[in-house]
Amino acid sequence: MSEKDAELLRSHLNIALRGLSQARIRDFGGYAVGKRRKLHVVEPMARDVAAFLCRYMNAKANGQPATVEGVANAIASALRNVSDETAYKLTARDYNTWTDLCEAVATFLERCMEFHGKPYDGSLTALSESNGWKMWEMIQSGEQPKGRWRHSWAEKPGDDFTGLYGNACMGRIFKIDLPGYADRWFWLAAADGDQRRGWPAAGYEASAKSAACRVERIYFALLAGKSKTGS
């Protein structure tokens, strides 16, 4: 695996792991070191991370294409190796602990699989459907975010923002500092599993404003109990 692919793997893992819901992180970490941990959440956590990872990278195991399920199983194995102390630190969103976790999971994956970035056609328009949306689902040029967007990590300001509507977290938007990704803003919607009603959990847009609007569209649709249609 090339140095660029290794860096890309870590970037995507960092995004996906940090995008896990606080409820799942609390179940995974417990309410004190080694106390009240609910390890049944490891599998759904691993599935979410694997789905995000496989959206942007190709995975191979023993020279053959790996499935999302195969990648999820490997991630779940890595997460089960996390110590009680580390798991509990994750609940406080400790920056260094999250960085160490990302590196540990990446190293584990590299031992059993190869990852390569997927080719990108250079288009972000819904006409090409390269970012998963139809023409009628495009973010309009005059559309503006309604919520409050702030830096996700106060100790490390940058191109990473969390959207709030009142006290509720709607999701995150961020950029990856890698060649070929400069014109993409990734987004994560704050909804788990069955709660998504067919809406995607992650994707990308051409600008921070568009990514924020995409998160808000999904958030308000879920709030109103609307499912994704027309796909």
**Those residues with Cβ within 8 angstroms of residue 195's Cβ, 6 or more apart along the chain or in another chain:** 222
Round to whole Å and give the CA distance between 166 and 200. Answer: 23
- Dump pLDDT digits (tens) for 35-58: 999 999 999 999 989 988 888 889
Round to whole Å and give the CA distance between 39 and 182. Answer: 37
Indicate the SS3 state at residue 98. helix
Instruction: Say which residue the tokens 């995150």 belong to.
Output: 172
Instruction: Please give the pLDDT value at position 127.
Output: 38
Instruction: Please give the pLDDT value at position 85.
Output: 95
Nearest to 2 by CA among 167, 102, 117: 117
Strands 64-65 and 57-61: antiparallel
Indicate the SS3 state at residue 73. helix
Cα dihedral 191, 123, 57, 185, rounded to 10, equals -40
**Those residues with Cβ within 8 angstroms of residue 189's Cβ, 6 or more apart along the chain or in another chain:** 170, 171, 196, 199, 200, 201, 202, 215, 218, 219, 222
Share of the chain above pLDDT 90, in %: 41
Cβ–Cβ under 8 Å, residues 186 and 173 = yes
What integer best gives the mean pLDDT of the chain? 84
Cβ–Cβ under 8 Å, residues 57 and 82 = no
Higher-pLDDT residue of 19 and 130 is 19
* Max Cα–Cα distance, the chain, nearest Å: 50
Cα angle 14, 147, 192 (rounded to 5 degrees) comes to 45
Indicate the SS3 state at residue 194. helix
Round to whole Å and give the CA distance between 23 and 169. Answer: 12
- Dump pLDDT digits (tens) for 203-212: 888 889 999 9
Band (pLDDT 50/70/90 cuts) for residue 123 is very low
Instruction: Please give the pLDDT value at position 183.
Output: 73
Is the per-residue pLDDT at 129 higher than 50? no
**Amino acid making up residue 154:** A
- Dump pLDDT digits (tens) for 63-121: 899 999 999 999 999 999 999 999 999 998 777 888 899 999 999 999 999 999 876 54
- Dump pLDDT digits (tens) for 144-195: 999 999 988 777 777 889 999 988 889 899 887 776 667 788 888 886 555 6
